[in-house]
Every structure is written in C-alpha cells, then in structure tokens.
Amino acid sequence: MLREGDGYRLGPRVLDLGYGYLSNLELDQVARPHLRQLAEATDQPVSLAVLDGLDVVYIAIEKARRELGILGEIGGRHPANATALGKVLLADLDEAALARLLDGAELPRLTHRTLFEPGALTSHLTRVRQQGYALDDEERGIGIRCVAVPIHDATGNVVAGVSVAGAIFHMSDETIAEHRELVLRAAAAISKRLGYDPAREREPRREDREATPAG
C-alpha cells in the first residue's frame, strides 16, 4: 500500500483482481482528485470500490478528519449485500447475472439490519437501480451509515462505486441527503473523465457479447 499525503493510493495488494488491476489503476488516478475534494467537503472518509463476485474490494480510500475507526484498507473486502457500495454495484447486474450470482449463495448477516435473504436483496436492488444510489443504514456495522453512488465508464457500464461513510451521529437523515448530492456530483465527474456520456446508448458487457449467437 502506498501513502500519498493524508490519503492512500492503489497498491499491489489488489493484484488478486487479475487483469482488472491496470484498469483499476487508471480509475484510481482519474478518481483521486474527486475523492479528495469529497472527503474535504464532507469531513468523512471516502472509498472507491469494485465488485468481485459477492464482495466489494476497496481500491482507493481518502482519509478525513472524522474517521472513528471506520476506515478500511486498500484491497480490503466486505460482503456486497451488507454495504452501500456493494448494493450499487450489484444493482447494475442484469436479472439473469444477478440470479446466477445469488444462486445457492449464503449471504452473511453482519447486523440485524443486513439484507441476507436473496429475494429481499433482489427487491431492494430494484429500488437502488431506480434511485441511482444506495444506503448502508447500520447494515455492515452498528453505528455506521454510508451512502454510495455508481461510476460509469465510456461503455455506460458501472465499473466502480464511490461512497461517504460516517458514524451515525454525524450521518443524520438530513446530512445523508446533503452528502448524497455531493457523492452524485463526484461520481458524475469521475464518470465523465472516464468517457461516460449519459445520452449514449449503453454497450453490452463483454460477457454478454460473447454469449450472443452469431448470425
């Protein structure tokens, strides 16, 4: 893990993501200024993560004045069903892909608020997809709340998520709403830098193209 100022930069520990390492490195470099600005604006830690199966993997973290032990580490993993970041990333999957991922899976229940039943999670992800953001309301840990927004690449697909997290006494409903708007702006700016155009038709994912019969 490499340190830069008061924040952290992508390190080789995420090499377990295979060929995604280089693209994540580019993403980290593009996102870094926006993550820093977001942390300064909210006084809360900001995270950038990607989806790996049913886990979210943190590829960049920007420290802030208010941390209170909630800061993760580069390469760290958390169950996608228990995090706002995981939910915005899962929400981008089509119905068939999500069903395959959840088929036979035992989703961990980290707190009494965690969505651990596949059916309930799938229904919740429909709302996440519609509203364009996800909340973690003490689902990963008691006393912690988080808001996350997806980041799109030039193809229109979601490649990562960005979040702001904090202790519940710093993250009231009103504060969550304010932070949500800041995270939405940051995600939009990062997506734009990656070539995303909301008016352009979304391209099929590589695996979807490979599954389409020729003819």
Q: Which residues of the chain have pLDDT under 70?
A: 1-25, 66-72, 205-215
Q: What pLDDT was estimated at residue 200?
A: 82
Q: What pLDDT was estimated at residue 213?
A: 36
> Which residues on neighbouring strands pair with residue 160, listed in sequence order?
151
pLDDT, mean over the chain? 85
Rg of the chain over all Cα atoms, to the nearest angstrom: 16
CB atoms inside a 10 Å sphere around CB 53? 10
Q: What pLDDT was estimated at residue 74?
A: 84
User: Which ranges constitute the DSSP H helices of the chain?
Assistant: 20-42, 84-90, 95-102, 118-131, 173-193, 206-211
What are the chain's domains?
2-195 (3.30.450.40)
Q: What pLDDT was estimated at residue 75?
A: 87
CB atoms inside a 10 Å sphere around CB 23? 15
CA angle 62, 14, 140 (to 5 degrees): 60
